């Protein structure tokens, strides 16, 4: 069977304080590896309400009960309440994840600012945001981060180049179906190896096609049944680390019953040779169940497609696409 890398995005102060420790403790007790990616600056979650005009935003909010998972206080951070500085307040908690033996890396500095701004931002803006996160990570852990996973799967070309500048050697910034090396329009490499999120997330599935909190893990298990290729699954400290932890437990137990090995991004990448990977330009595409456009590979090797980019279809089922 295959390996499934668990990529854990920690988006908010509440997720850092509550969801992240719950996940780390549960995984540690069972000897399961994972990669934790941290938001290291201010929590401005309340500013995400500016997305109300984005297509699909209201349907996603209705399906996933945002208030239930994030809480009113979190949804006021950055608006009616000041945004708490996560990295400054929670140094001990962040360090405890690394001490427990988990792989760690950078998710973002300001999650909402990055997710809503980076796709159209210039290089100087991108450098400031990434530099702040890189500096804070080094202050907390005493070493540079080597893994990056972009907030909201949002990137621009400068961000891929700056990952290398800031010492990032492995990234999971995109959605897709297989590892690849990002390149520019001339075919020149612009960043480290990309391990895209290949499986849908719980919040993309719940409320669609008959999936709910009682059975949604079956949607994911159907995608990995008798499959022999590696996958990347993204989960969130605010969701699987709190009210959806029972779903996550059932999912992990299901994957183990299928014979899959649960691991980290670094372990997944350790057997890959960048020289043998597909090379692709990165554009934007849609993912069912998630509002807005996300970073996806759109032009492999020298074959460019002159049409709206989409996520490559998962070959085992239609639930993802």
In a domain, 306, yes or no: no
In terms of Cβ atoms closer than 10 Å to its own Cβ (0-12, 13-18, 19+), residue 138 is: middle
Query: Which element (helix H / strand E) includes 234?
Result: strand 231-236
Q: Is residue 313 part of a domain?
A: no
Across the chain, which has 321 residues, the per-10-residue mean pLDDT values are 95 95 98 98 72 48 53 55 86 98 98 94 98 98 98 97 98 96 93 98 94 97 93 97 96 97 98 94 93 89 44 32 30
Is 318 within the bounds of a domain?
no
In a domain, 317, yes or no: no
What pLDDT score does 210 carry? 94
* Residue 315 included in any domain: no
pLDDT for position 79: 61
Location of structure tokens 């490559």: 312
pLDDT of residue 55: 53
Domain span at residue 267 reads 3-300
DSSP character string of 261-299: EEE-HHHHHTT--GGGSEEEEEEEEEETTEEEEEEEEEE
- 314 inside domain: no
What DSSP character marks residue 8? E
User: pTM of the predicted model, to two decimals?
Assistant: 0.86
Cβ atoms 199, 231 nearer than 8 A: yes
Count of domains for the chain: 1
Q: What is the pLDDT of residue 227?
A: 86
DSSP designation for 171: E
Q: What pLDDT is attached to residue 74? A: 61
**In this structure, is residue 316 part of a structural domain?**
no
Helix (H) or strand (E) holding 255: helix 245-257
DSSP 241: T
**pLDDT at residue number 270:** 97
How far, CA to CA in Å, does 48 sit from each of 38, 54, 74, 111, 288?
Answer: 18, 11, 11, 9, 20
Whether 305 maps to a domain, the answer reads no
Its sign, for the CA torsion 211, 213, 215, 219, is positive
The CATH number linked to 92 is 3.20.20.370
């Amino acid at each position: 069977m295959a390996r499934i890398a668990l990529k854990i995005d920690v988006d908010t102060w509440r997720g850092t304080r509550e969801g992240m420790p719950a996940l780390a403790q549960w995984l540690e007790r069972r000897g399961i590896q994972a990669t934790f990616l941290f938001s290291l600056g201010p929590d401005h979650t309340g500013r995400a309400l500016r997305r109300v005009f984005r297509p699909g935003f209201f349907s996603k909010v209705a399906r996933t009960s945002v208030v239930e998972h994030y809480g009113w206080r979190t949804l006021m951070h950055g608006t009616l309440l000041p945004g708490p500085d996560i990295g400054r307040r929670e140094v001990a908690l962040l360090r405890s994840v690394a001490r427990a033996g988990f792989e760690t890396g950078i998710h973002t500095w300001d999650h909402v600012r990055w997710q809503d701004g980076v796709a159209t931002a210039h290089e100087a803006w991108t450098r400031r945001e990434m530099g702040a996160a890189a500096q804070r990570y080094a202050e907390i852990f005493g070493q540079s981060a080597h893994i990056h996973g972009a907030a909201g799967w949002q990137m621009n070309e400068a961000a891929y180049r700056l990952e290398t500048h800031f010492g990032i050697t492995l990234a999971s910034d995109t959605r897709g179906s297989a590892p690849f090396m990002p390149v520019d329009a001339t075919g020149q490499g612009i960043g480290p190896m990309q391990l895209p999120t290949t499986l849908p997330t719980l919040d993309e599935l719940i409320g669609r096609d008959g999936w709910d909190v009682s059975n949604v893990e079956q949607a994911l298990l159907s995608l990995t049944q008798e499959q022999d290729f590696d996958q990347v699954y993204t989960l969130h400290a605010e969701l699987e680390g709190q009210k959806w932890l029972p779903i996550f437990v059932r999912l992990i137990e299901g994957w183990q019953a299928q014979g899959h090995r649960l691991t980290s991004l670094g372990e997944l990448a350790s057997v890959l040779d960048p020289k043998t990977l597909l090379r692709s330009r990165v554009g934007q595409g849609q993912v069912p169940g998630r509002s807005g456009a996300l970073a996806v590979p759109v032009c492999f090797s020298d074959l460019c497609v002159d049409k709206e980019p989409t996520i490559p279809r998962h070959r085992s089922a239609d639930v993802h696409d």
